[in-house]
Amino acid sequence: MSESLSSEMEAIWREELSPFLAEREQRRKKAVGNIVVGTGLGVAAGITAAAILLAFGLFPFALFALIGLPVAGGAVGSAKFNELKKEVKLGLLGKLAEASDMRYSLQPAEPARFDVFREHGLLPNSDRRSFEDHFIGERHRSVFELYEAKLEEKRRSKNRTYWVTVFRGLLVRIEFPRTVEGVTVITRDKGFFNMFEGWGRKTFGSKKLERVGLVDPKFEKIFEVYSTDQVMSRYLLTPTFMERLLALETAVEGKKVRAAFDDRQGGGELLIAVETGNLFEPGSLFKPLDDEERVRTLLEEIDLVTGMLDLMVRPPELGENVLADQS
């Protein structure tokens, strides 16, 4: 492994991950072979069926056979391939998460606070949704959950119906270590379009939220803030917190981070949504499994997660102006 990795991770690679991958290499080769054979048989069947159908002048059916049968053959052949991919993903991410004091599962049993994310306007409307890659743990005595969400909207044109991805990224729930009362929502500034949504107030669920002005004009240009409690919102939205929220986008290589503080759990809760690519994938199984690069990539993404959480909940360091906007 790379010299930049810790001695602990070197040991995990050598003693656990490398043997885990090596044991599955023969299954990988066989699974890839099944795809090749399945696709090849599908191509042969497609060509034969298309030739027969063309002889009867059935061009649309011939085209369908020529395209559909190879796809079907590949799909049948990929069953073991997909099964192995899930097994490898769970094994690698489970062990890497454990090394970072987290627990991992392929999917959340219940996507934490998803309806609350929607209620507070942190996510767009969608007609289809899927969730994967669930992490749970604790950082700086703050319990958190994190998972990936993909939201799609059905759209129609004159000739067809199709799906558009309207959100793909991370949803995070953190038991925030500071007192939270009421609801404070931090969304992106829409500039000119603010006038169409009502400049001064919003309603989320049954709560009416008033617009909050931010002290720093830098943040005022980027975010819109609404809250049920003006005093509490200023207590929460310190310059340090807002800087960290912006830094989070860079940390996870994402965009359009937005957040909400909510007191409904009886304590302090921080919800964060940030758009990212599809993270936490084990890499191509068309390449040998026992490859340190696939582990290094996953480890880098897990480090992004832990770094993001540390960024949001770690105690302020000497020199950080945490309470500057509470005077």
Reported as a single tens digit per residue, the pLDDT across 34-70 is 999 989 998 999 899 989 988 888 888 888 888 998 8
pLDDT at 202: 62
Whether 324 shows a pLDDT value over 50: the answer reads no
DSSP-based three-state secondary structure for 72: helix
Residues 6+ apart with CB under 8 A from 72: 42
pLDDT at 197: 47
Taking the alpha carbons at both ends of the chain, their separation in whole angstroms is 51
Distance of CA 18 to the CA centre of its chain: 27
Please give the Cα distance from 287 to 16 (Å, whole number). Answer: 20
Q: Residue 146: enclosing H or E segment and its boundaries?
A: strand 142-156
CA-to-CA dists, residue 232 to 158, 210, 212, 247, angstroms: 50, 12, 11, 23
Average pLDDT over residues 283-292: 89
Q: Residue 164: enclosing H or E segment and its boundaries?
A: strand 161-175
Closest CA to 4 of 300, 278, 231, 317: 300
Please give the Cα distance from 289 to 24 (Å, whole number). Answer: 8
Mean pLDDT of the chain: 84
Please give the Cα distance from 186 to 171 (Å, whole number). Answer: 14
Read off the pLDDT band of 193 (50, 70, 90): very low
Higher-confidence residue of 306 and 173: namely: 173
Provide the CB-side half-sphere exposure for 4 (13 A, CA).
3
Residue keyed to tokens 């885990």:
20
Average pLDDT over residues 291-299: 85
- For 312-321, how does the pLDDT look when each residue is reduced to its tens digit (9 = 90+)? 887 665 444 4
Please give the Cα distance from 178 to 190 (Å, whole number). Answer: 29
Read off the pLDDT band of 203 (50, 70, 90): low
Cβ neighbours, 10 Å, residue 26: 10
Lowest mean pLDDT among 34-48, 114-128, 179-193: 179-193
pLDDT at 108: 94
% of the chain at pLDDT higher than 70: 87
- Cβ atoms of 196 and 202 within 8 Å: the answer is no
pLDDT at 127: 94
Q: Which residues pair with 189 in a beta bridge?
A: none
Read off the pLDDT band of 263 (50, 70, 90): confident
Please give the Cα distance from 156 to 144 (Å, whole number). Answer: 38
Distance of CA 168 to the CA centre of its chain: 6
